[in-house]
Amino acid sequence: MRTLYVSRQGCYIILKGETLIVKQGETIHGEVQLPLLEQILIFGKSQLTTQVIRTCLWRNIPIAYLSRMGYCYGRLMPIERGYRQLSRYQQNLTVTERFLVARKIVQAKLKKIVSAFIL
């Protein structure tokens, strides 16, 4: 698994063609070819351009933001195709179908609340 670790503080990553370039000011610290990359780990106060983020999401390359000591603040991961299909399906529901779905959700929540009181 090919991982890009950016632990040097104050760096930024830019995209040039099919290459990610790690820079600090005008100094280039490294270059990585996108097809070889499987994930990016950003430690501390470094940053990525929007183009890098968009390209990584498009290519299913996750990005993790961590503290300098390795605490994970969060990850950026692409939306899977299944979620996109579900979203399109939900947008195509009629008003009646939306009402029925909402009704089922409320019924399930009320059932859960009532069963919690019985126990």
User: Quick check: 46 and 59 in contact, CB under 8 A?
Assistant: no
Q: Tens digit of pLDDT for each residue in 9-61?
A: 999 999 999 999 999 989 999 999 998 899 999 999 999 999 999 999 888 88
Domain boundaries along the sequence of the chain = 3-76, 81-118
Average pLDDT over residues 100-115: 86
Residues 67 and 18: their CA atoms lie apart, in Å, by 28
Superfamily of domain 3-76: CRISPR-associated endonuclease Cas1, N-terminal domain (3.100.10.20)
Phi/psi-derived region of residue 80, left when phi > 0, alpha when psi is between -120 and 50, beta in every other case: beta
